Amino acid sequence: MPFVGADLQAIPNHALRSYVECREHEILVEDVHNDTNSERRTMMRLEGRNALVTGAAGGIGQAISARLKLEGARVAAADIDPSGVDADAYLAGDLTDANYCDGLPQAAMDTLGGLDILVNNAGIIRRGDITQASDDDYRMSMAINVEAPFRLCRAAIPIMAETGGGAIVNTASCWGLHPGPHHPVYVMSKAALASLTQCLGRDHAHQGIRVNAVCPNEVDTPMLRTGFEIRGLDPETAIGELDCTVPLGRIAQPEDIADVVAFLASDDARYMCGALLEVNGGKPVG
């Protein structure tokens, strides 16, 4: 501020008016910002609703679980070991187990007393050209990124339909919408999930079930950092370099994704069906 510490009586009238107007604007913006934060802290858009979150122990999964709870939902956390998640129920298991997937929505309903929200968040990434991809890379990627959401949706939709509807949010990827280099197995699996989202969004809207997807680009999670370490890179340096490639100036934090998931799960997104929301800070895939 150019007049900080200055004698206001010595400032020309026209400059003083500008200074006062500027300060009033700053105070107004600050008040609006504080009011927005206060409103956000007290929002309970999901009060009384029950949610199942897969991949709940990961970086994005923990943020989603915390956000849904903050909004008033009761959360069942599903993962290999979900015990460290802030949740109301814990449904440990392996998403490559078909029986576990098929029974998970009913288990969540029985534990929580209902099922209004399903978040298919679990996912894995296998890197490299197709000539480097193993059978296990393909099998695991399709099992977790595609087959598990397929089974969970198939089991959850009848439950939701019986109680008047619900919301399903899939964690897809910008890479599934705009294929990038050297990740064909991952891109293929996320493209399948995006297509599934659009199909189900259309097919089950008449039942009051909204199916949408959030599509992140890079997110600062343990999975991303581990990927850098495997390739012999320093995670902090690598993330700093990634930050410089994003128009907003940084890659996403898990909370950036969780906020969009909460929006899609809420009545604020009541007219959205089959939407694929890119959350990328303005950065294209490439």
In this structure, what token pair is assigned to residue 278? 């890119």
State the helix-helix crossing angle for 135-142 and 184-203, rounded to 10 degrees.
20
- Write the CB contacts of 158 (distance below 8 Å, at least 6 apart in sequence): none
Query: Which residue, 166, 152, 88, 99, is CA-closest to 123?
Result: 152
Q: Give start and end residues of each alpha helix (H) in 163-253.
A: 174-177, 184-203, 222-230, 235-243
Residue indicated by tokens 């008040």 = 31
Task: Categorise residue 281: left if φ over 0, alpha if ψ from -120 to 50, beta otherwise.
Answer: left
* CB-facing half-sphere around the CA of 16: CA atoms within 13 A: 8
Active site residue 138: no
Angle at 16 between CA 11 and CA 18, to 5 degrees: 140
Task: Please identify which of the residues 100, 138, 186, 271 carries the catalytic annotation.
Answer: 186
- 89 burial type by CB count under 10 A (0-12 exposed, 13-18 middle, 19+ buried): middle
Q: Which residues are catalytic?
A: 186
